Amino acid sequence: MKLKDLLIGVENFKIKGNSELEIENIESNSKKVKQNFLFVAIKGYDFDGHQFISEAIQNGATAVMLDINEDLKSIKLPKDITVILTDNTRKALAKLACNFYDNPSRKFKLIGVTGTKGKTTTTYMIKSILEKAGYKVGLIGTIANYIGDDKISDSNRTTPESLELQKMFYLMAKAKVDFVVMEVSSQSLKLHRVDYTYFDMAIFTNFSKDHISLKEHADMNDYFNSKLKLFQMCPTGFVNADDLKSERLIYESKNCDIKTYSLDNSSNLIAKDITITNSSVDFKVKIGQKNERIKVNIPGRYTVYNSLAAISIALSLGIDSEKIKEGLLEIVIPGRNELVPNDKDLTIMIDYAHTAESLENLLESIKAYTTGRVICVFGCGGDRDRTKRPEMGEVAGRLATISIITTDNPRTEKPEAIIEDIEKGIKKTKGSYKIIVDRRKAIEEAIKMATKKDIVVLAGKGHETYQEINGVKNDFDERKIVQEILKNQK
């Protein structure tokens, strides 16, 4: 594609050089650049792409895009290199990617799901319902990326960078999907990863404290405003009316036709007569003129909210109640209330709960149906919001019978320092706890002390099959670890 065609719609840029260049591909990682590539320099939290321009040119880049405030003299660019200057290279990259892949998001119906919690579960529910209705569906999110049942790739982040995202959309359009359902993180909205993408529908699940750190959001207002962007770029939305931020979101999304769902407040779709057991929820909801009973094999009140979000999408598309019921009944989501099968008759649950609120929801729902003790193994991620650590400790101390504080993904922090922060919260309670830094040993201890009446909750890792320590992702699949521990028990 000619460079001038790639640049159509890019805002506020200046070009010095040959706009007729044939560009083979675009890259923001200098190591992946090849002959006749356009290299886009991005300033990240850990690295500044402008420092790798020379490497990109050595690898074959014939054009480079830089921040307009960069000092070109200090970079010493060769004279035959075409240079594009712009005031926001991240935003420009999103437009370049859309142009390069021929705006693939307009070739299917795209449904975006945002919110602090429930994104993954809701996307899987929507996918299941749509497939029961006979549609071919793509999915992009925290666990993995799919076209139908075929996994394209595992996920490194909730929402991919713009180049990777548009390439996925291209592959999905090529595979002739009817719908793509994707998780849209606040970070992706803030960092322009989904700019120029066309969303047909959006869902707002809920809003609570999370992702406040130097590398994420400065404060809760920044966090909320990032999520709000999705509804300012989308014609149709569905919002949880029980959430405290719903009114503000609806008010500030004037060009989005928004409908609501709820359990408590008045809304367009209300769940009633709710029953929650140790393995499922069921509830009534009005579909057309009939009250239909819906059953989902995932326990917890939050499952009802996620189901209502998925049902709202389905009803807007005219999908009949039987397909909705089938899709929700058969749903299975890795790392969300996931029970590990074993021949010891022990109840061992893996869940992604990694905030105080999500851990509280999980433990409260478990306590409601567990006859024995709740043994909770958890930690907190490093290089993330430190304030949530004592909050999680306090929740575990208050709700779990026994807590084992351990390591999550420490990243570049010392596990002991993270645990010390958690311990400050748990000390405010009368909860019983142990500290075992090694997560495998912590899991082993929890299983060792468990009886058939107890439930062991492994919180925080969920679907993840790794543990990130000092920038290295080490193999750590809790399903396999549990099975190995049980096998070695006498």
Q: What is the bridge-based pairing of β-strands 269-276 and 257-262?
A: parallel
Q: Work out the pLDDT band at 278, boundaries 50, 70, 90.
A: low
Q: What is the pLDDT of residue 215?
A: 59
pLDDT attached to residue 358:
86
The CATH label, of 3.90.190.20, 3.90.1010.10, 3.90.1150.10, 3.30.70.600, for the domain at 338-488 is: 3.90.190.20
The pLDDT of residue 393 is above 90 = yes
* pLDDT, mean of residues 179-191: 92
pLDDT, tens digit, 9 for 90 and up, residues 440-480: 999 999 999 999 999 999 999 998 999 999 989 999 999 99
For position 339, what pLDDT does the model report? 85
**Which burial class, exposed, middle or buried, applies to 213 when counting CB atoms under 10 A from its CB (0-12, 13-18, 19+)?**
middle
Q: What is the pLDDT of residue 490?
A: 64
Average pLDDT, the chain: 93
Confidence tier at 332 by pLDDT (50, 70, 90): confident
Q: Any idea what DSSP says for residue 369?
A: T
Q: Given a cut of 90, is residue 187 above it in pLDDT?
A: no
DSSP summary character for residue 333: -
The pLDDT value given to residue 338: 86
Distance (Å, rounded) from C-alpha 108 to C-alpha 267?
29
Q: Which of 62-71, 130-139, 282-291 has the highest mean pLDDT?
A: 130-139
- 223 close to 249: Cβ distance less than 8 angstroms: no
pLDDT band at 217 (very low <50, low <70, confident <90, very high): low
Burial of 247 (0-12, 13-18, 19+ CB in 10 A): exposed
Assess whether pLDDT exceeds 90 at residue 156: no
Bridge partners of 402? 375, 432
Residue 133 above 80 pLDDT?
yes
Extents of the domains making up the chain: 3-100, 104-329, 338-488
Same fold, 104-329 and 338-488: no
Token representation of residue 463: 């679907």
What is the token pair recorded at 6?
Answer: 């790639």
Give the number of residues written for the chain: 490
pLDDT confidence of residue 212: 56
Helix (H, G, I), strand (E, B) or coil at 360: helix
Q: For the segment 422-436, what is each residue's pLDDT rounded down to a tens digit?
A: 999 999 999 999 999
pLDDT exceeds cutoff 90 at 417: yes
Range 3-100: architecture per CATH:
3-Layer(aba) Sandwich (3.40)
For residues 88 and 69, give the distance between their C-alpha atoms in angstroms, rounded to a whole number: 10
Contact status, residue 233 vs residue 184, Cβ threshold 8 Å: no
Which residue has better confidence, 50 or 312? 312
Nearest partner of 459 among 422, 430, 427, 486, judged by Cα: 422
- Token pair 């892949």 is found at 101
Could you read off the pLDDT of 192-210 as tens digits, one per residue?
999 999 999 999 999 875 5
Per-residue pLDDT at 47: 81
Residues whose CB falls within 8 Å of the CB of residue 1, separated by 6 or more in sequence, listed in order: 22, 23, 99, 100
- Residue 107's φ and ψ, nearest 5 degrees, are -105, 5
Overall average pLDDT of the 141-153 stretch: 93
Compute the average pLDDT of residues 337-357: 89
Give the chain's largest Cα–Cα span.
Answer: 75
| Strands ordered across the beta sheet of 144-147 | 150-154, 144-147, 137-140, 179-183, 109-114, 201-204, 236-240, 257-262, 269-276, 281-287, 290-296
Confidence of residue 322 (pLDDT cuts 50, 70, 90): very high
Q: What's 104-329's CATH class?
A: alpha beta
Which pLDDT does position 165 carry in this prediction? 96
Mean pLDDT of 361-389: 91
Q: What is the pLDDT of residues 55-99, one digit of tens each?
A: 999 999 999 999 998 877 777 789 899 999 999 999 999 999 999
User: pLDDT digits over 10-23, tens only?
Assistant: 999 999 999 999 99
